Amino acid sequence: MTAEPVRVDLDAPGGRVSGLWMPAPGAVAAAVIAHGAGAPMTHPFMEGAAAGLVAGGVSVLRFNFPFMEEGRRRPDPPPVLLRTWRAAIDALERRRAGLPMILGGKSLGGRMASVAAARDGAACPASALVFFGYPLHPAGQTDRLRDAHLPDIRVPMLFIQGTRDALARFDLVQALIRRLEPLARLHVVPDADHAFHVRGARRPDGDAGRALGLVAADYVRSIAGEVSARRARSSAAE
């Protein structure tokens, strides 16, 4: 699959970051997925996740946050991350051709998507969110949960989580999903850590990403079907 380089313009003089656009043949939805704190949009897991989504009929836009674009190790402060997310959403708007919009990403990228969606509330432009390893708390600090904003999200959410994730103790993830139901759904990766590495298995990151991208695509297709049905009912009522 060939990715088309794109430019994501930020709301700052001369501000821009790199992006990659992968249209899916016969797409049913279009997604923006963001990388985590430790690797860029071209990391094999991100490449694989995008490929899996595209194979499942979901066009994908990836992008770098400024800190990764500039080669810095420390993530940008939340306001910068959110401004970048807004710019990426605008970039997808110009390409999605009316298809349902999906937001998500790996770890930090997915968490910031959730913050943007929570702040938008009912005005959120997305039809659903997908999290590849939601970082529910810092490693070893289960008393510092990053979940206070999640009940403000008004669209369906898919959490793809490993049971051995040091940033999301699994019993806490299960409790979170129960609190967020019926909007939240959980896909479990047994014995997987935060990078979706499974003990005893030597699976390349790209293969793991593709497999989970296909899981996400199945979920997105169900959401797209619901969106199409609502639009049909609305048109019939007019």
Each domain of the chain, given as residue ranges in start order, spans 4-237
Q: pLDDT tens across 20-71, in order?
A: 999 999 999 999 999 999 999 999 999 999 999 999 999 999 999 999 999 9
- CATH superfamily of the 4-237 domain: Alpha/Beta hydrolase fold, catalytic domain (3.40.50.1820)
**Helix orientation angle between 205-237 and 44-55, rounded to the nearest 10 degrees:** 40
CA dihedral sign of residues 91, 112, 47, 72: positive
Full-model pTM: 0.95
Q: pLDDT tens across 104-122, in order?
A: 999 999 999 999 999 999 9
**Beta strands in 52-156, from DSSP E residues, in sequence order:** 58-63, 101-106, 128-132
Give 10-residue mean pLDDT values along the chain (238 residues): 90 84 96 97 98 98 96 94 95 94 98 97 95 97 97 97 98 98 98 95 94 98 88 74
